[in-house]
A and B are shown apart, each in its own frame.
Chain A
């Protein structure tokens, strides 16, 4: 894209600047639209599994429900509790929202179609996702209210616990791909199993890692059944209790953007990203981003499915799963995978 703007007569620096801004908008605007639609899809799937109709009034099939909700919260009054720490109270949702958008910079949407094709792409994703906890923790503290504070404590413990095992799972993928660059990781998955299946998840050594990544992803984004940070029966609405209007909407959007990011990471790291599922020539007629989108939607369906069917975990069960099950197993698999590669690839 830089070359295109250079051909319009700009010098390199300006062309790079303008093309980066355009790239950011090209990712962020469809993402926000996607988040609005995915909230609708989430409610529809959830309703269908509970034998309800779900949103069906605003627009055809209720398609415009999210936009109506968006307009509603936009027109609401922003209430800042008088006992709160006002600046931090307002900064917290901005952090959540910004961080949720930042990680998308390194996601490859097609072969080479990535905003920042950096060498440490996967580490960047890990670094940014570890920042997400601040939005919740700061909100819990700045609200100066007991339920948000409990929620913040829970969130910080939960997210740190699952980040550890996610780190080890990602190391397995990185070892196999031999690169931290997401584009190269996807390219390495081409014909990975029997020369025909695209994706690390079809590899018997990495399949358990994918299952753990899926579950850890739900815990990391605080989705049901791990949504203890906003368990309504215990904590009212968790860290969002004191929020209203656009501040609340920013949490809402950021949360779903994070869920979409986790779905995308599942697709990119374990199911061949923009590659078709089978390495057959005629499947490449369909553009890469369509395959990626299909995989993201599939994983989002899985997330909604789990949300609709699995009851919420108890807090000690959540911690046990993270530290006593996922951490040792993922650590063991790092040893197993690196040992296997040592004997087969590096001799």
Chain B
């Protein structure tokens, strides 16, 4: 019974906060509702026994990605009138995306109803054995059967990361950077000078 209650609680909250994400006027509120949706989706994952995925969802999306979203959105100076002006222009494109998503949902539900939904391989050999923890099962699959695909994904991510750094990196000559090793190597006798000026003369630095 508690399973059912928890499922409906999480599912309702996911759908509701997902809806409010796109309906909220304030972008910061939108991001916060999105975070709530992520969090409740993690709850759903726990319910189906995928606790590893649930934790990853919270760590990666809620803990890192959404924080960056929030970080950027908070710093934006948003002009609401300008946002609304773009609404009419982008309306057809938005409708197109909506129709595609609707088709996908209908297709998904149809496939599920037809009983054609096989998770993993048709003979079930990739399905998790009973009594094996999530992490072990995923680890065995990722580092065994799908090792090369997994490593390829890793290489692609590495290239993307280096690419992002190369694209955004720029040498700036107008700022003075901190040279930490030089700061640490500095000693008091080279940084300060002790002078005894005559009265009324002052010092020249």
Contact = CB atoms under 8 A, between A and B. Distances in A.
Contacts of A159: 67
A77 interface: no
A156 B135 contact: no
Contacts of B1: 13
A126 B59 contact: yes
A120 B135 contact: yes
Contacts of B135: 119-120, 180
Contacts of A149: 74
B133 interface: yes
Given A137-B70, A152-B74, A118 B51 contact: yes
A134 interface: yes
B71 interface: yes
A134 B74 contact: no
A149 B71 CA distance: 11
A208 B56 CA distance: 26
B52 interface: yes
B47 interface: no
Contact of B67 (A119, A120, A133): A133
A160 B64 contact: yes
Contact of A130 (B28, B58, B75, B180): B58
Nearest to A163: B63
A123 B59 contact: yes
A137 B75 CA distance: 12
A130 B71 contact: no
B44 interface: no
Interface residues of A, number: 31
B53 to A, nearest CB: 10
A335 to B, nearest CB: 14
Interface in B130-170: 133-135
A7 interface: no
A147 B74 CA distance: 14
B52 A153 contact: no
Contacts of A138: 32
Contacts of A72: none
B71 A153 contact: yes
Most chain A C-beta atoms within 10 Å of own C-beta, residue among B32, B56, B58, B67: B67
A205 interface: no
B194 to A, nearest CB: 24
Contacts of B2: 13, 17
Contacts of B64: 130, 160, 163
Contact of B180 (A13, A134, A157, A320): A320
B34 interface: no
A167 B134 CA distance: 19
A141 B32 CA distance: 12
Contact of A120 (B70, B71, B134): B134
A156 B67 contact: yes
A152 B73 CA distance: 13
Interface string A149-172: 100110011011001000100000
Interface in A114-149: 118-120, 123-124, 126-128, 130-131, 133-134, 137-138, 141, 149
Contacts of B67: 130, 133-134, 137, 156, 159-160
Interface of B: 1-2, 28, 32, 35, 51-52, 55-56, 58-59, 62-64, 67-68, 70-71, 74-75, 133-135, 178, 180
Interface of A: 13, 17, 88, 118-120, 123-124, 126-128, 130-131, 133-134, 137-138, 141, 149, 152-153, 156-157, 159-160, 163, 167, 180, 316-317, 320
The 6 closest A-B CB pairs, nearest first, are A130-B63, A123-B55, A127-B58, A127-B59, A119-B133, A120-B55
